[in-house]
A and B are shown apart, each in its own frame.
Chain A
């Protein structure tokens, strides 16, 4: 696969996913969702054991498996679910970081995986009666949380894999190829010495 091909594949993926908004959990405005939300926030606070609010909320992924979610998804539903998709996991992580007092932005990513992996994911979604709209050949749409570390410097927390995303130098297994960070009150951010302009896809 040559570089030109790779580039045009990423462009095609961006075109496919450019109108997707970052996932958000819905709220019933009733006791059911209020209770679930209060429980979630208290849970997260319990895990800030050493007072370091930058510690990734790994407990979320330890509690929920990764799998298809039916949208719209309400706060009161999450406690009954075994699995959440990357958007739902990220909506929770965003809320956790934000309630710890950190400034966060939803990050949308395009990543690449081998087709033999993708086939399993496709089937997993289809078995649950859902269309895997997040897959395009060997590229996938993914969501994560951009957290301001200081000034306009961000790190990106991946709540599905429970790690801070690295900026890998090359196209390869699991590599992040493009990123869009959504926001309203900043122009540009810095991620691993790279300028990221808000609401624009950046090919890495």
Chain B
């Protein structure tokens, strides 16, 4: 503190957030900007770790290095900062969480250059309530803690798994599968000591920012930054500075005034080519690239200090309109020798510290950890969730007394509803245009009860092997009601199926298969077929199935072969991409592009396409609420593109069966920690539920005495009966406190691949 005493009349400014790694804080940029305007000011850097490399930056006169947040006595620390402010020093925070803590701890002080706590609430994620007057939109989001797992999964499907999981303060992770979602949720939740996480849909566009500074609601300056280079972490590495457009500036001024904003801020935006703007974040501090703006003549930190102190700084001359960042080495500050590297832990990988300023520790101190717990699930006899009432009614009818678990329940009313509703929707839509028909995927669930339902409702059977042909025949299907798909449709060769000689459609998985069919004269001599076609693999789809049409040579060859088929049967095209993988919107666009390919085939060969087969992998809710209502539009698109289309085959896949079966398991053991149930062991396992980790399964609890409860999210793990390490069925259930051995869990949504891919293990 000697220097400070020597320069008693100088401005003294504390600047926190000095980490200068790949995800830097703004402290160094603020110091560089202030030094330019105030060569004689005393700049004191504040951080919470000697590993924050900005402490060695030469513009700082002093470093006020604090102990990590978990060692700090927050009351004492607040007292010290209050004293500094009272003594005339200024404080500019470069750390979001520190800003929140200060705003909530210290009373408003003219030298504390941070926004008031009400303003922080108005700009908090994900709502960012303050944005409403700005010409921007917020990307769609979903608060994780406020929704059950199946609704979260639905949100991810809707946006094609182009979604981010975010916490309230820092960090965002892209998640592309349910397993990733759960892993990243746990990571964020543990790091930031909160369950206040949210999912946000990804927005494609150009990254831009607005940075501003304000004092007591007066907007002092404001600049627009177009990113020109971005690091792999998504951080700005170069940018162009320009004026903020008037249509943003005017409402921003009003918002800043209303919020009585003090300090720096950054609005992170995504711009689409047509100008539409999306607001991603509103950060309550200067951005780390703030010195880039200073280089263009906009010294925002200096303007803030000038207004707060009344002391004019040296005018900042603009040197360019663009800035770039580089990595530089600096000498280590005397008195702050580098700490040794942490001891490499044998059970971990790597030793880098991601958050040297200790923000996760502060987060856990600021927010008492709260799991979004529902109070112990109420025992009830009715459920109001989507289709749960029907499931529950059916389960209630079941006799649990002498049940041999694990036991699958066929939910007759659910399956009847799904098959009937689908058949009616198809009939209604086809009556007004191209005839459409549903093909039931035998592999998804070969249970004879489903096959009978498919037959009753006039569906085709989609089969992938001779075994499945045999199965479908045994259920009463004629071969001419079968669609053959997949790479092994003629397997096994030894199996002769006399009755099967006239199929509805055959879709080849490769050019070789198509050639073999034509050249070996199988079509002419052995079997007849209404449609023969190919499964195509659209260009950007990663799949082992279908013919890659992005190779023009393949396209040409197909055209040649297609001409050969012409006198044998009609030609068809098939694509099968699970909508729950790529998202419904992308699936719909893919459908349009398949029409484009069909048109290309027609135009290039001069021969019409007679059949389109579209799959698949629909979740029941998407099938009922999105696909079937869109059917008429899909058929219109088809007939508008293809004049001679004879038939549209729809493959609902799991949509008809997933929620039509449930698995009943018995609780073998209840493990408690104090009064909390931490784990239970059940007699079911991943052998009966091989698809358990790929999407959420709703769970109903049934006590031995017959009480029911719909289970929500909690902290109890459900362990399978086997001795496999990964046989953990759930890791986050909230069970009723009365749960005991011999009670039951009914695991819903297990009627598709959980059934057909289940295997014998440990029995």
Cβ proximity bits B263-297 to A, threshold 8 Å, 1 near / 0 not: 00000000011110000000000000000000000
Q: Chain B residues near A39 (CB, 8 Å)?
A: 549, 552, 555-556, 600, 604
- Let me know if A42 and B596 touch, CB within 8 A: yes
Instruction: Given A39-B604, A54-B273, A59-B539, check contact A45 B556 (CB 8 Å).
Output: no
C-alpha spacing A39/B539, complex, angstroms: 11
* Residues in A36-62 with C-beta less than 8 Å from chain B: 36, 38-39, 41-43, 45-52, 54-55, 59
Q: Chain A residues near B321 (CB, 8 Å)?
A: 169
C-alpha spacing A155/B273, complex, angstroms: 8
Contacting chain A: which of B45-53, B472-480, B517-525, B586-594?
B586-594
Instruction: Given A31-B604, A35-B559, check contact A50 B589 (CB 8 Å).
Output: yes
- Let me know if B549 and A50 touch, CB within 8 A: no
Q: Does A34 contact B (CB under 8 A)?
A: yes
Cβ proximity bits A124-145 to B, threshold 8 Å, 1 near / 0 not: 0000000000000000000000
Instruction: Given A52-B204, A149-B273, check contact A41 B596 (CB 8 Å).
Output: yes
Nearest-CB distance from A85 to chain B (Å)? Answer: 20
Instruction: Given A42-B596, A149-B273, check contact A34 B540 (CB 8 Å).
Output: no
Q: Does B597 contact A (CB under 8 A)?
A: yes
Residue of A nearest to B552 (CB): A79
Q: Does A150 contact B (CB under 8 A)?
A: yes
Q: Chain B residues near A169 (CB, 8 Å)?
A: 321
Q: Chain B residues near A55 (CB, 8 Å)?
A: 204, 273
- Let me know if A46 and B604 touch, CB within 8 A: no
Cβ proximity bits B529-564 to A, threshold 8 Å, 1 near / 0 not: 000000000111000000001101101100100000
Q: Chain B residues near A150 (CB, 8 Å)?
A: 274
Q: Chain B residues near A149 (CB, 8 Å)?
A: 273-275
Contact of A42 among B272, B589, B600 (CB under 8 A): B600
- Which one of B559, B585, B596, B601 has the greatest number of beta carbons of chain A within 10 Å? B596
- Which one of B275, B590, B600 has the greatest number of beta carbons of chain A within 10 Å? B600
C-alpha spacing A42/B599, complex, angstroms: 8
Q: Chain A residues near B539 (CB, 8 Å)?
A: 43, 46-47, 59
What's the tally of chain A residues with a CB closer than 8 Å to chain B? Answer: 26
Cβ proximity bits B317-348 to A, threshold 8 Å, 1 near / 0 not: 00001000000000000000000000000000
- Let me know if A49 and B589 touch, CB within 8 A: yes
Residue of A nearest to B273 (CB): A54
Q: Does B603 contact A (CB under 8 A)?
A: yes
Q: Does A164 contact B (CB under 8 A)?
A: yes
C-alpha spacing A164/B275, complex, angstroms: 14
* Residues in B190-247 with C-beta less than 8 Å from chain A: 204
Q: Chain A residues near B272 (CB, 8 Å)?
A: 52, 54
- Which one of A35, A41, A52, A169 has the greatest number of beta carbons of chain B within 10 Å? A35
Cβ proximity bits A10-24 to B, threshold 8 Å, 1 near / 0 not: 000000000000000
Contact of A49 among B274, B586, B596 (CB under 8 A): B586
Q: Chain A residues near B556 (CB, 8 Å)?
A: 35, 39
Instruction: Given A35-B559, A52-B204, A79-B552, check contact A45 B593 (CB 8 Å).
Output: yes
C-alpha spacing A125/B553, complex, angstroms: 28
- Let me know if B274 and A54 touch, CB within 8 A: yes
Q: Chain B residues near A38 (CB, 8 Å)?
A: 599-601, 603-604
- Let me know if B538 and A34 touch, CB within 8 A: no
Cβ proximity bits A149-160 to B, threshold 8 Å, 1 near / 0 not: 110000100000
- Let me know if B589 and A48 touch, CB within 8 A: yes
Residue of B nearest to A36 (CB): B552
- Let me know if B604 and A34 touch, CB within 8 A: yes
- Let me know if A34 and B596 touch, CB within 8 A: no
- Let me know if B593 and A48 touch, CB within 8 A: yes
Q: Chain B residues near A59 (CB, 8 Å)?
A: 539
- Let me know if B540 and A51 touch, CB within 8 A: no
- Let me know if B273 and A42 touch, CB within 8 A: no
Cβ proximity bits A179-191 to B, threshold 8 Å, 1 near / 0 not: 0000000000000
Q: Chain B residues near A50 (CB, 8 Å)?
A: 204, 585-586, 589
- Let me know if B592 and A45 touch, CB within 8 A: yes
- Let me know if B204 and A45 touch, CB within 8 A: no
C-alpha spacing A41/B603, complex, angstroms: 11
Contact of A43 among B275, B550, B559 (CB under 8 A): B550
Cβ proximity bits B575-589 to A, threshold 8 Å, 1 near / 0 not: 000000000011011
C-alpha spacing A155/B206, complex, angstroms: 14
C-alpha spacing A49/B585, complex, angstroms: 9
Nearest-CB distance from B91 to chain A (Å)? Answer: 38
- Let me know if A46 and B596 touch, CB within 8 A: yes
Residue of A nearest to B206 (CB): A164
Q: Chain B residues near A35 (CB, 8 Å)?
A: 552, 555-556, 559, 604
Q: Chain B residues near A155 (CB, 8 Å)?
A: 273
- Let me know if B553 and A79 touch, CB within 8 A: yes
Instruction: Given A49-B540, A50-B204, A52-B204, check contact A42 B549 (CB 8 Å).
Output: yes
C-alpha spacing A149/B275, complex, angstroms: 9
Q: Chain A residues near B540 (CB, 8 Å)?
A: 46-47, 49
Nearest-CB distance from A15 to chain B (Å)? Answer: 32
Nearest-CB distance from A204 to chain B (Å)? Answer: 16
Nearest-CB distance from B531 to chain A (Å)? Answer: 20
- Let me know if B585 and A51 touch, CB within 8 A: yes
Nearest-CB distance from A31 to chain B (Å)? Answer: 7
Q: Chain B residues near A79 (CB, 8 Å)?
A: 552-553
C-alpha spacing A47/B204, complex, angstroms: 14
Nearest-CB distance from A99 to chain B (Å)? Answer: 9
Residue of A nearest to B594 (CB): A46
C-alpha spacing A116/B101, complex, angstroms: 56
C-alpha spacing A49/B600, complex, angstroms: 18
Nearest-CB distance from A105 to chain B (Å)? Answer: 17
Q: Chain B residues near A34 (CB, 8 Å)?
A: 603-604
C-alpha spacing A59/B540, complex, angstroms: 10
Cβ proximity bits B599-643 to A, threshold 8 Å, 1 near / 0 not: 111011000000000000000000000000000000000000000
C-alpha spacing A168/B603, complex, angstroms: 44
Residue of B nearest to A31 (CB): B604
- Which one of A34, A46, A150 has the greatest number of beta carbons of chain B within 10 Å? A46
Nearest-CB distance from B240 to chain A (Å)? Answer: 8
Q: Chain A residues near B559 (CB, 8 Å)?
A: 35
C-alpha spacing A191/B646, complex, angstroms: 48
C-alpha spacing A169/B320, complex, angstroms: 11
Residue of B nearest to A80 (CB): B552
Residue of B nearest to A155 (CB): B273
* Residues in B379-411 with C-beta less than 8 Å from chain A: none
Cβ proximity bits B500-524 to A, threshold 8 Å, 1 near / 0 not: 0000000000000000000000000
C-alpha spacing A189/B539, complex, angstroms: 35
C-alpha spacing A64/B555, complex, angstroms: 18
Q: Chain B residues near A36 (CB, 8 Å)?
A: 552
C-alpha spacing A34/B555, complex, angstroms: 12
C-alpha spacing A22/B600, complex, angstroms: 27
Cβ proximity bits B705-725 to A, threshold 8 Å, 1 near / 0 not: 000000000000000000000
C-alpha spacing A59/B603, complex, angstroms: 23
C-alpha spacing A46/B588, complex, angstroms: 11
C-alpha spacing A45/B539, complex, angstroms: 10
C-alpha spacing A45/B594, complex, angstroms: 9
Nearest-CB distance from B302 to chain A (Å)? Answer: 25
Residue of B nearest to A51 (CB): B589
Nearest-CB distance from B560 to chain A (Å)? Answer: 10
Q: Chain B residues near A47 (CB, 8 Å)?
A: 539-540
Instruction: Given A34-B603, A34-B604, A54-B274, check contact A46 B555 (CB 8 Å).
Output: no
Could you jot down 17 A-B contacts, CB within 8 Å?
Answer: A35-B552, A35-B556, A35-B559, A38-B599, A38-B603, A42-B549, A45-B597, A46-B539, A46-B596, A46-B597, A48-B593, A49-B540, A49-B589, A50-B586, A52-B272, A54-B272, A164-B273
- Knowing that A31-B604, A48-B593, A49-B590 touch, tell me 13 more A-B residue pairs with CB under 8 angstroms: A39-B604, A41-B596, A42-B597, A43-B539, A45-B592, A45-B593, A45-B596, A45-B597, A46-B596, A47-B539, A49-B589, A50-B586, A51-B588
In the A-B complex, the 3 residue pairs with the closest CB atoms: A45-B596, A38-B600, A79-B552
